[in-house]
Amino acid sequence: MAAVDQLQIVLGALLVLALLAWYLSFSASRLDRLHHRVEGAVAALDAQLVRRAEAAVELATSGAVDPASGLLLADAASIALEVGEQADHVGATQHAVAPRLAGGDLPGQDHVSRERAESDLSQALRATLDQDVVAQLSADPVLAPLVDRLAAACHRVRLARRFLNGAVTDAARVRGKRVVRWARLAGRAEVPQTFEMDDDPPPALVD
C-alpha cells in the first residue's frame, strides 16, 4: 500500500512537472511570436515613415509650394530621413527592435528624437498643405499623383503605428506575467517600446 502511495506521488509530481514544462514552452513560443510580430510592425512603420518623408521632400522641391513653405517642409522631411537612417544603422548593428525607431546610439534618449522628428514633419505638412494649396496641387495632372501618394503615406503611417503599439502592448502584457519573469523567458530580447508621435495628417489630405 505504501508502495502504491509513493508511486502515485511520483506520478503526480511527474504530471505537475510535465504540465509546467508544457506551460513554459507554450509561454516561450507565444512570447517569441509576439516579439516577431513587433519586429514586423517596426519594419512596416519604418518603411511608411520613410515613404512619407520621401514624398514630402519631392513635394517641397517641386516648386509647387511657396519658397518659405518648401524650405520648412524640406528641412523637416530631410531631418526625419536622416534620423531614420541612423536608427536603421543602430538596429542593424545591435539586432534590436526598439533602436530601429530610435535614431542614435542612446536608445532611451534617441527614441524620443525619432518621434520628435516625425512629429515635426507632421506639423510642417499641416502648415504647408492647407485646403487651397491641396486643391491647387490636385488640379495639376503632374502633381496630383504626388499628393495622392503623400496622403496614402500619411494614412499608412497612422495604421502602422497603431498596429505596432498594439503589438507592443500585447508583448508587454505577456512579459509582465510572473512566470515569464521568473523563468526569464524573454531572455535578452529588447523590451519593445511604443512609438509616440503626432501623426495627424493635413485635414485637406483626409477630405
Q: What is the pLDDT of residues 43-57, one digit of tens each?
A: 999 999 999 999 999
Dihedral-angle region of residue 193 (phi above 0 means left; psi in -120 to 50 means alpha; beta otherwise): beta
Domain assignment present for residue 83? The answer is yes
Domain assignment present for residue 13? The answer is no
Domain assignment present for residue 148? The answer is yes
Domain assignment present for residue 53? The answer is yes
Residue 33's pLDDT is: 81
Residue 97's pLDDT is: 45
Instruction: Give pLDDT tens digits for 101-160.
Output: 655 443 444 444 899 999 999 999 999 999 999 999 999 999 999 999 999 999 999 999
Q: Which of 101-110, 184-193, 197-206 has the highest mean pLDDT?
A: 197-206
Question: Predicted confidence band at 40 (pLDDT cuts at 50, 70, 90)?
Answer: very high
How many domains are there within the chain? 1
Domain assignment present for residue 16? The answer is no
Domain assignment present for residue 197? The answer is yes
Average predicted confidence (pLDDT) for the chain: 81
The pTM (predicted TM-score) of the whole model is 0.79
Domain assignment present for residue 40? The answer is no
Residue 192's pLDDT is: 84
Question: Domain residues for 54?
Answer: 45-206
* CB neighbours of residue 108 within 10 Å: 9
Alpha-carbon distances, residue 138 vs 71, 132, 133, 147, 179 (angstroms) = 21, 10, 8, 7, 56
Domain assignment present for residue 164? The answer is yes
Residue 105's pLDDT is: 41
Alpha-carbon distances, residue 165 vs 3, 30, 150 (angstroms) = 56, 18, 23
Average pLDDT over residues 58-67: 92
